[in-house]
């Protein structure tokens, strides 16, 4: 800090989990905070929607305008004609789910189903285990076999990688199960490559071998699970040959993996959300959850499943004290924003977006932007930058970044909560989300004291009302130290003696509602499976995808495709290709190699259409929901690819002049 200006952002070495490490995205966070492109004043639209023509306004004018328009919408169409749209952009609970939620509840606005990240997998795990509790990340150090199942740890979860490495140094074998040869797969001991969306068949094949060879833990199964006989019946059809035919993983490899998984102790499965983004995303996770119960892996420290740690360091915070009760209004899926803006009845007339950039991150982006372009839709966006979503707003409000506001930052990658103290004064006239919603509430005449709570009071309430395992976190101490750990016993083996969250306390190896199993997806016209993974190392979804350093590091959007698929289409490495299906088309540079198998292609998600040739990955994905949990099938689109030009320049050069797609 010098003269009120932050000069350097560093990780705290004493932090027990991150140990001072910052990922490639956050290590230059201050470039974001002080970027010349940062929004510094409220903006009011002066040109056509989507063109980014705005004039500056005072806060009073902007707030007054919004309050007037919202009041008019509510008076004419009712509260449900207003739709809030927000996600985890801000990372903290105070700026992410407090005064904002109270405001929309008071308004009687539609509720947003925030299901784009993790809810499908959670639904699958709940079906099997009845709880989201799982391993503690540090305990992977004790594991001797680690299956990184559909997660690209080095890119998306960097802080777990040192734990994985320590386990490996102590003799653990690291297996990556991923259709793509990711950086993580390349760094592992063994890369198992199922076709996208077929993991349930892989898990069934593994369980077939385990049960057929008597490698399951009969005592654990007997005492702590239910439905073994039905599962065994289903497994009868899943010999390694059939599993191999469905997944593309050779039968011998399935047998080998099954034996190693069942006989190596402790054996851990690490999953995040890569596998949930498929039609049967919940069922895939539900099926995988049978594995550690079948083998009794839960008996060991470092054995079992490690999923997101929100159960330890997020959900226990006092959600009611932050958000208040949700209104009894209709709910709208965030995955189907395109539908909500274009087709839903009664119609949405006002949209308020914050902590999210749906023009880029929501599926089926042509439908999203078609909705955002509606002249009769009143749109407000709270942002740091003029994102592709903000470009469609009627009013854009400048929000503070993490170094400018108070927050309690939960985690789903480790078991610590963090207190965020502002380091600098807000840049320009930016305000915390909370303060923006307070001002809006006042302007709308909401006199309720619920809108008077300060950020610090909200933070305190979230922590003081927290449940297990955050119940003992002391707010003053959290503020002083900066972080606090969930209170879990040193020897954390949550299900060594059963105790699952199901009514019987047993893990459900079978349930009629959503049994372990695999259905092939319905046939599709397009020949290639598209995965839209988070392969951009320097973006956090679409965040940072406008900053020079981060764009420079990523280069341009690349379509990875197999040399055979390329040859069939006359495409050579470095050519510009058009990736298309019925929903849209995206331009990318082709890279041929062994990242994908034949029949599979990959586009990175997160690129702004305005900076990458006019469209990005979600132009190709659909608004279809996963089987459970209302998730997004963003790794399950199908596409065709054709060559546009030989090796010409595109990407950022094309940003101002979008190529015709």
| Comparison of 291 and 634: residue with beta carbon closer to Mo ion | 634
Alpha-carbon span 618 to 357, nearest angstrom: 12
Q: How far apart are the first and last CA of the chain?
A: 47
Instruction: Decide: 49 and 59 in contact? Cβ < 8 Å.
Output: no
Position among 285, 322, 352, 634 found at the interface with ligand MGD (CB under 6 A): 634
Alpha-carbon span 103 to 451, nearest angstrom: 8
Strand order in the sheet with 416-420: 407-409, 416-420, 483-485
Alpha-carbon span 170 to 184, nearest angstrom: 19
Q: Give me the least distance between CB of 294 and ligand MGD, in Å please.
A: 19
Q: State the residues that interact with Mo ion by CB under 5 A.
A: 117
Q: Which of 179, 162, 178 is nearest to 170 (CA)?
A: 162
Q: Using CB under 6 A, which residues numbered 378 to 407 contact ligand MGD?
A: 382-385, 387, 399
Alpha-carbon span 188 to 554, nearest angstrom: 23
Q: Give me the least distance between CB of 401 and Mo ion, in Å please.
A: 19
Q: Give me the least distance between CB of 596 and ligand MGD, in Å please.
A: 9
Torsion angles phi and psi, residue 554, rounded to 5: -85, -25
Choose the contact partner of 382 out of ligand MGD, Mo ion, none; CB within 5 to 8 A by kind. Answer: ligand MGD
Choose the contact partner of 430 out of ligand MGD, Mo ion, none; CB within 5 to 8 A by kind. Answer: none
Alpha-carbon span 258 to 559, nearest angstrom: 33
Position among 103, 149, 495, 500 found at the interface with ligand MGD (CB under 6 A): 149
| Comparison of 253 and 464: residue with beta carbon closer to ligand MGD | 253
Of the listed pieces 133-141, 145-153, 291-299, 414-422, which binds ligand MGD according to CB under 6 A? 145-153
Q: Give me the least distance between CB of 162 and Mo ion, in Å please.
A: 22
Position among 42, 137, 194, 629 found at the interface with ligand MGD (CB under 6 A): 194
| Comparison of 285 and 395: residue with beta carbon closer to Mo ion | 285
Q: Which of 195, 176, 208 is nearest to 287 (CA)?
A: 208
Position among 100, 141, 178, 627 found at the interface with ligand MGD (CB under 6 A): 178
Of the listed pieces 75-83, 84-92, 125-133, 484-492, which binds ligand MGD according to CB under 6 A? 84-92
Counting residues that bind ligand MGD (by CB under 6 A) gives 59
Q: Give me the least distance between CB of 569 and Mo ion, in Å please.
A: 32
Instruction: Decide: 260 and 222 in contact? Cβ < 8 Å.
Output: no
Position among 42, 134, 150, 303 found at the interface with ligand MGD (CB under 6 A): 150
123: three-class secondary structure by DSSP:
helix
Query: Applying CB under 6 A, does 367 fall inside the site for ligand MGD?
Result: no
How much is the CA Rg of the chain, to the nearest whole Å? 25
If one counts every other C-beta atom within 10 angstroms of the C-beta of residue 241, the result is 11
Instruction: Decide: 629 and 124 in contact? Cβ < 8 Å.
Output: yes
Query: Applying CB under 6 A, does 117 fall inside the site for ligand MGD?
Result: yes
Cα angle for residues 37, 42, 47 (degrees, 5° grid) = 80
Query: Applying CB under 6 A, does 220 fall inside the site for ligand MGD?
Result: no
| Comparison of 291 and 531: residue with beta carbon closer to ligand MGD | 531
Handedness of CA 179, 181, 186, 191 (dihedral sign): positive
Residues forming the site for ligand MGD (CB under 6 A): 87-90, 95, 116-117, 149-152, 155-157, 177-180, 182, 194, 196-197, 199, 272-275, 278, 354-358, 360-361, 382-385, 387, 399, 433, 531-534, 537, 539-543, 605-606, 617-618, 621, 634-635
């Amino acid at each position: 800090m010098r003269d009120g200006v932050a000069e350097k952002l560093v990780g705290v070495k004493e932090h027990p989990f991150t140990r001072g490490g910052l990922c490639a995205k956050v290590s230059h966070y201050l470039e974001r905070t002080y970027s010349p492109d940062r929004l510094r004043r409220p903006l009011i639209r002066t040109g056509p929607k989507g063109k980014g023509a705005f004039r500056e306004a005072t806060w009073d004018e902007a707030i007054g305008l919004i309050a007037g328009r919202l009041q008019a919408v509510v008076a004419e169409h009712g509260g449900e004609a207003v739709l809030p749209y927000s996600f985890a952009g801000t990372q903290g609970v105070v700026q992410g789910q407090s005064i904002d939620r109270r405001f929309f509840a008071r308004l009687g606005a539609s509720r947003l189903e925030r299901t784009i990240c993790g809810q499908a997998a959670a639904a699958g795990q709940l079906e099997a285990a009845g709880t989201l509790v799982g391993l503690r990340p540090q305990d992977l150090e004790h594991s001797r076999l680690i299956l990184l199942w559909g997660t690209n740890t080095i890119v998306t979860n960097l802080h777990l990688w040192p734990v994985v490495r320590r386990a490996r140094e102590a003799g653990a074998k690291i297996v990556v199960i991923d259709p793509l040869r990711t950086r993580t797969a390349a760094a592992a001991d063994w890369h198992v490559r199922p076709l996208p969306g077929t993991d349930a068949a892989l898990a069934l094949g593994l369980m077939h071998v385990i049960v057929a060879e008597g490698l399951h833990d009969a005592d654990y199964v007997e005492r702590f699970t239910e439905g073994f006989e039905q599962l065994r019946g289903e497994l009868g059809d899943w010999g390694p040959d059939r599993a191999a035919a469905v997944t593309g993983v050779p039968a011998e490899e399935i047998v080998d993996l099954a034996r190693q998984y069942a006989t190596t102790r402790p054996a851990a499965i690490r999953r995040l959300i890569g596998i949930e983004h498929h039609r049967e995303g919940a069922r895939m996770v539900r099926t995988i959850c049978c594995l550690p119960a079948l083998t009794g892996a839960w008996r060991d420290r470092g054995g079992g499943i490690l999923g997101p740690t929100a159960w330890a360091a997020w959900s226990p915070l006092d959600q009611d004290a932050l958000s208040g009760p949700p209104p009894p209004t209709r709910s709208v899926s965030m995955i189907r924003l395109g539908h909500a803006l274009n087709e839903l009845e009664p119609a949405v007339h006002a949209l308020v977006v914050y902590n999210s950039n749906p023009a880029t991150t929501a599926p089926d982006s042509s439908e999203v932007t078609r909705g955002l372009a509606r002249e009769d839709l009143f749109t407000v966006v709270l942002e740091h930058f003029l994102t592709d979503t903000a470009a469609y707003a009627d009013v854009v409000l400048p929000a503070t970044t993490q170094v400018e506001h108070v927050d309690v930052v939960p985690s789903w990658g480790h078991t610590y909560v963090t207190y965020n103290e502002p380091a600098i004064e807000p840049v320009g006239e930016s305000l915390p989300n909370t303060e923006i919603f307070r001002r809006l509430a006042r302007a709308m005449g909401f006199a309720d004291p619920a809108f008077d709570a300060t950020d610090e009071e909200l933070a305190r309430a979230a922590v003081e009302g927290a449940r297990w395992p955050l119940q003992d976190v002391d707010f003053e101490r959290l503020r002083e130290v900066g972080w606090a750990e969930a209170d879990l016993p040193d020897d954390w083996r949550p299900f060594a003696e059963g105790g699952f969250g199901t009514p019987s306390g047993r893990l459900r190896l079978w349930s009629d509602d959503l049994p372990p199993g695999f259905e092939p997806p319905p046939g599709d016209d397009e020949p290639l499976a598209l995965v839209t993974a988070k392969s951009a190392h320097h973006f956090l979804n679409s965040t940072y995808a406008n900053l020079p350093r981060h764009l420079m590091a990523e280069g341009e959007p690349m379509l990875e495709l197999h040399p055979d698929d390329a040859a069939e289409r006359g495409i050579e490495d470095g050519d510009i290709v058009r990736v298309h299906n019925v929903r849209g088309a995206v331009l990318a540079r082709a890279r041929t190699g062994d990242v994908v198998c034949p029949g599979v292609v990959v586009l990175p998600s997160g690129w702004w259409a305005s900076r990458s040739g006019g469209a990005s990955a979600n132009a190709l994905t659909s608004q279809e929901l996963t089987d459970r949990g209302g998730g997004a099938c963003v790794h399950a689109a199908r596409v065709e690819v054709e060559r546009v030009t030989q090796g010409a320049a595109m990407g950022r050069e094309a940003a101002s002049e979008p190529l015709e797609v």
